[in-house]
Amino acid sequence: MQALILAAGKGTRLDIKDTPKCLLKIGNTSIIEFQINCFRNIGCDRIRVVTGYNSNKIMERLGSSVEYIFNKNFEHSNNLYSLGEALRVIDDEFICVYSDLLFHKNILEKCNASTKEITLAVERNLRDETMRVKIENQKIVQVNKNIDNKNSDGNFIGMAKFSKNIKDSLYQNIKELIKNGNHDAYYTLALESMIKHGQPIHFIETDGHPWMDIDTKEELEEAKKIEREFVG
C-alpha cells in the first residue's frame, strides 16, 4: 500500500504568507505530519508528497521520511494536475488525501480495507462549501461542488483509494483533460469522466467519525480546539 498527499497549493484564504498550509500546527504536530503518522500506522510502505508552493519548506520539515514529486506548474494548476504528475511514478494501489485534511484513524482504516477499484470516503451529513456526491444503487454517479442540497447525498471528504488496476485508466483520463485545458480543475473531474465511461465508483462512510479540511482561519482555530478528537 502506498500513500499520496497532494500539497502543492498555496492556501490563499488562510493568509499565512510563506508557510505551506500543510505545515500549520494542530496541537503538537503539523497537519501533514499527522497524516504521515496515520499512514505509517496502517502499514503504508511508501509515502509520496506532491509539492509546489514553497516546496523547500516542506522538504526541510519532512526530510527523507517521504518521497517528493514537484508540480512545476503549481501556480497555474489544481490537484488534477498534481495527481497526474504523481501517477507517472506510482506503481501500486494507493490512498490519496488532500494535505489540509484532518481525519479520524477509523476513516483511513475503513478506506484502506476497500478492495474496489475506486473508493471515496463520504460523509452523509451535508456541509457548506464541500465537494458533493450523488449516489445511486450504492455507487457514486456525480462528484462536484455544484450539486445542490436537494440532489446531494453527502460530501466527498478528500480521501480516496485507487487500485493498481485502475491507475493507468485514471492517468489517461487526467492526461486527456489536461490536454483539453483543464489545468486548474479538481481531480474529481477525472472521476466524473470515468463514471460517464462506465467506471463504477464506490464509497465508504465516515460513520460519524470527525474530519475537517482546513481552508480558513476559523476552521484552523476550530481544529486546534478539537484536535484530540482526531486521534481517539
Residue pointed to by grid coordinates 475506486 = 118
Pairing relationship of beta strands 67-70 and 46-51 according to DSSP bridges: parallel
Give the pLDDT of residue 51. Answer: 97
81 or 216, which is more confident? 81
Q: Is 94 exposed, middle or buried (0-12, 13-18, 19+ CB in 10 A)?
A: buried
Give the start-to-end residue ranges of the domains of the chain. 2-231
Read off the pLDDT band of 130 (50, 70, 90): confident
Residue 105's CB: how many other CB atoms inside 10 A?
Answer: 15
- Cβ 134 vs Cβ 142: under 8 Å: yes
Please check the confidence at residue 11 and state whether its pLDDT lies above 70.
no
- Cβ 219 vs Cβ 212: under 8 Å: yes
Q: Of 1-15, 121-135, 155-169, which range is least confident?
A: 1-15
Tell me which amino acid residue 87 is: L
- Which CATH number among 2.40.30.10, 3.60.20.10, 3.40.50.720, 3.90.550.10 corresponds to the domain 2-231? 3.90.550.10
Pairing relationship of beta strands 154-162 and 94-98 according to DSSP bridges: antiparallel
Mean local confidence (pLDDT), 143-150: 93
Please check the confidence at residue 193 and state whether its pLDDT lies above 80.
yes
Please check the confidence at residue 232 and state whether its pLDDT lies above 70.
no
